[in-house]
Amino acid sequence: MKSRTIIGTGIALIAALSIVAGLRAQEPGSGTLTFKTIFTFNNPFGGPSAALVQGTDGNLYGTTAAGGAEYEGTVFRITPQGQLATLYTFAFDGVDGSDPLAPLILGTDGNFYGTTYLGGANHNICQGATCGTVFKVTPDGELTTLYSFCSQAGCADGVGPSGLVQGTNGNFYGTTSLGASTSCTDGCGTVFKITPSGVLTTLYEFTVTGGWSPSSLAGLVEGTDGNFYGTTGEGGTGTGRACYGGCGTVFKITPQGVLTTLHNFTGTGAEGYGPGGTLIQGADGDFYGTTGLGGSSKTCGYYGCGTVFKVTPEGAFATLAGLNEAIASEPRDGLVQARDGNFYGTGDFGGACNCGAVFEVTPEGALIQLHSFNNSSGGYFPSEGLLQATNGGFYGDTFYSTPGYGAVFALSTGLGPFVSSVPTRGKAGIPVKILGNALTGATGVTFNGVAAAFTVESSTYITTTVPEGATTGPIEVTLPSGTLSSNVPFRVLP
Three-state DSSP string of the chain: CCCCCCCCCCHHHHHHHHHHHHCHHHCCCCCCCEEEEEEECCCCCCCECCCCEECCCCCEEEEECCCCCCCCCEEEEECCCCCEEEEEECCCCCCCCECCCCCCEECCCCCEEEEECECCCCHHHCHHHCCCEEEEECCCCCEEEEEECCCCHHHCCCEEEEEEEECCCCCEEEEEEECCCCCCCCCCCEEEEECCCCCEEEEEECCCCCEECCCCCCCCEECCCCCEEEEECEECCCCCCCCCCCCCEEEEECCCCCEEEEEECCCCCCCEEEECCCCEECCCCCEEEEEEEECCCCCCCCCECCEEEEECCCCCEEEEEECECCCEECCCCCCEECCCCCEEEEECECCCCCCCEEEEECCCCCEEEEEECCCCCEEECCCCCEEECCCCCEEEEECEEECCCCEEEEEECCCCCCEEEECCEECCCCEEEEECCCCCCCCEEEECCEECCEEEEECCEEEEECCCCCCCECEEEEECCEEEEECCCEEECC
Q: Is the alpha carbon torsion for 300, 331, 202, 258 positive or negative?
A: negative
Sheet (strand 112-116) strand order: 105-106, 112-116, 133-137, 143-148
248 phi and psi angles, rounded to 5 deg: 105, 165
Return the pLDDT at 241.
59
Return the pLDDT at 227.
97
Return the pLDDT at 68.
84
Kindly report, residue by residue over 237-253, the tens digit of the pLDDT.
876 656 767 889 999 99
Return the pLDDT at 238.
72
Kindly report, residue by residue over 356-399, the tens digit of the pLDDT.
999 999 999 999 999 999 998 889 999 789 999 999 999 999 98
Return the pLDDT at 186.
76
In angstroms, rounded to a whole number, what is the distance separating the alpha carbons of residues 65 and 221?
Answer: 23
In angstroms, rounded to a whole number, what is the distance separating the alpha carbons of residues 264 and 87?
Answer: 41
Return the pLDDT at 301.
74
| CATH numbers and ranges of domains, the chain | 11-412 (2.130.10.10), 420-492 (2.60.40.10)
From first to last of its 494 residues, the chain has per-residue pLDDT tens of: 333 322 222 323 333 333 233 333 333 334 589 999 999 998 766 789 899 999 999 999 999 988 888 889 999 999 999 999 999 999 877 789 999 999 999 999 999 999 999 989 888 787 556 899 999 999 999 999 999 999 998 888 999 999 999 999 999 999 998 887 666 777 888 999 999 999 999 999 998 778 888 887 789 999 999 999 999 988 888 766 567 678 899 999 999 999 999 999 988 888 899 998 899 999 999 999 999 998 988 788 778 899 999 999 999 999 999 999 999 999 989 999 998 999 999 999 999 899 999 999 999 999 999 999 999 888 999 978 999 999 999 999 998 998 888 999 999 999 999 999 999 999 999 999 999 999 999 999 999 999 999 999 999 999 999 999 999 999 999 999 999 999 999 999 99
Return the pLDDT at 242.
65
Return the pLDDT at 6.
27
Record the pTM. 0.92
Return the pLDDT at 10.
31
